[in-house]
Amino acid sequence: MIEMLARIQRLESQRVTIIAIALIVMGLGLLALSPLFGGSDLTDFISGVLFGIGIGTTLIGVFLATRSVFAYLGQEK
């Protein structure tokens, strides 16, 4: 029973790590798309929104990945 709970906890940690990596990739994709928009006032606004969302998404992904790594290192002890 305890082994099953430990396995579930490891799988949950892996899920968070995968979500963190996906958020980082998605944020970098939004950052890459943001310079493609521009010219008029509306497209400059859309470019800024994409840039802001990309930065936020990347930061959340980095935070989750860091937290997941430290949780993994804490479990090994």
- In this predicted structure, what is the pLDDT of residue 8? 84
Give the torsion sign (CA, 27, 30, 32, 38).
negative
Integer Cα distance of 1 and 6 in angstroms: 9
- In this predicted structure, what is the pLDDT of residue 65? 93
Whether 30 and 54 have beta carbons less than 8 Å apart is answered as: yes
pTM to 2 decimals?
Answer: 0.80
- In this predicted structure, what is the pLDDT of residue 30? 94
- In this predicted structure, what is the pLDDT of residue 6? 81
- Averages of pLDDT over runs of 10 residues in the chain (77 residues) are 83 87 96 87 92 97 93 75
Residue 40 backbone dihedrals phi, psi, to 5 degrees: -90, 175
- In this predicted structure, what is the pLDDT of residue 67? 92
- In this predicted structure, what is the pLDDT of residue 55? 97
